[in-house]
Amino acid sequence: MLSELTYLDIGNNDISGRLPSSLGVLRNMTHLALNGNDFRDRLPLSLEGLTMLEVLDLSNNEMDGPLLNATNWKSMNELKVDGNFFTGEVPESFGNLDSLGMIDFNDDSIIEFGIFK
């Protein structure tokens, strides 16, 4: 069953629309690459529940709104959200991601970095 999926890369496929909230059922997901598509709108809150994520690549889509709270992403070591239209503040919870080795906000509209307060 897909709920056991750990690695999903559907990058650069010209997929459009909203990210489905059903992605949140992929509790064992460690690598989620959705880059280079045409995903729009806000991130589904269900992504906050993907506690095993090590890599999340949402780069080069059309996503907007605020970033999610990263409190549950303790294993995250690579986060790419560049080339979107995210706005607002980077949540302070990003500052607690001890495993994070790379984060890319390039070409976004982030106006405040709470992690540097």
Q: Report the number of distinct structural domains present in the chain.
A: 1
CB-CB contact of 57 with 35 (8 Å): yes
Answer whether residue 43 is part of any domain.
yes
More confident residue, 50 or 117: 50
**Quick check: is 58 in a domain?**
yes
Range of the domain at 34: 2-111
Q: pLDDT digit string (tens) for 42-74?
A: 999 999 999 999 999 999 999 999 999 999 999
Provide the whole-model pTM. Answer: 0.91
Quick check: is 14 in a domain?
yes
Q: Other CB atoms closer than 10 Å to residue 73's CB: what's the count?
A: 25
- Residue 117 domain-assigned (yes or no): no
Task: Retrieve residue 68's tokens.
Answer: 């999610």
Query: Does residue 116 form part of some domain?
Result: no
Average pLDDT over residues 91-107: 89
Residue 71 lies in a domain: yes
Which pLDDT value is given to residue 117? 53
> What is the CATH classification number for the domain harbouring 40?
3.80.10.10
